[in-house]
Amino acid sequence: MSRKAFTRLAAPLIHLPEPDLDTDQIIPARFLTTTRREGLGPFLFYDRRYGTDGTPRPDFPLRPLERHGCAFLLAGHNFGCGSSREHAVWALLEAGVRAVISTRLADIFRGNALRNGLLAIELPPAQVLRLARCAGQEVLIDLLEREMRLPDGERIPFAIDPFARYAMLRGADELDLLLELIPEIERHEREREAEHA
């Protein structure tokens, strides 16, 4: 999947308030028997969206995603905990989720998200509550200005790691940057190996 650059985007806000939604909920392990990044979108939140008999559960609020093709997810505390599977991020992106906002995002999930161009934003509880009142409405996220704009014109600033922001704005990736450092990496390895000889 080639990563898309993210600068400014308006999309409906989906509210999933349940805390501790782990990566097994985002994409159950039985869908990980693949060797590709693509094709995981249809399995996003599979066991939450569908009953054991495969019928859709109307109470699971992903409908705006299906209607608009993209959305932001306002998630409960500690979203993305559990397994390190990057498949969770690939599934979210393929289904059209372009940003995840929560009072806390699990460490490995947050890193995976930013590395793939899925904007991951942590906000204090008061601001998450404010955003929750806009569930279902269109919200604008401006990564250049580091702020969200709500339908009533209110602006909510957010903090984001400058390195991740740079990579997201440019669509750049870490591997390219690391490859440029190979001579420095080799020097470091030689020094450490000499110390341990």
Partner 1 sequence: MRLSLFEKIWRAHQVRPPALGAPAVLSIDLHLVHEVTSPQAFAELARRGLKVRRPERTLATLDHATPTSPADAQGRPPFADEACRAQAEKLIENCADHGIELLGFGSGRRGIVHVIAPELGLTQPGMTIVCGDSHTSTHGAFGALAFGIGSSEVAQVLATQCLFRHKPKSLRIELRGRLRPGISAKDLALALIHRFGTDGGTGHVVEFSGEAVRALSMEARMTLCNMAIEMGAPSALIAPDETTFGWIEGRPRAPKGEAFARACARWQQLQSDPEAVFDRELSFDAGTVGHRISFGTDPAQNAGLDEPLPQPEGGKLRRAYEYMGLEPGKPLRDTPIDYVFIGSCTNGRLEDLREAAKVLAGRRIAPGVRMLVVPGSEQVKRAAEEEGLHRIFLAAGGEWREPGCSMCIAMNGDVVPPGKRCVSTSNRNFEGRQGPGARTLLASPAVAAASAVAGCLTDPIALQVEAAA
Site residues (vs partner 1, CB under 8 A): 18-20, 22, 24-25, 28-30, 32-37, 47, 52, 77-78, 81-86, 89, 104, 106-108, 111-112, 115-116, 161-163, 166, 173-175, 177-179, 181-182, 184-185, 188-189, 192, 196
Cβ distance to partner 1 smaller for residue 87 or 98:
87
Residue 60 CB, shortest distance to partner 1, in Å, is 13
Residue type, 192: R
Residue 153 CB, shortest distance to partner 1, in Å, is 31
Distances (CA, A) of 169 to 43, 72, 91, 99, 141: 28, 17, 21, 14, 13
β-strand pairing of 155-157 with 97-102: unpaired
Residue 74 CB, shortest distance to partner 1, in Å, is 16
Distance from C-alpha of 24 to C-alpha of 17, rounded to nearest angstrom:
17
Cβ distance to partner 1 smaller for residue 67 or 196:
196
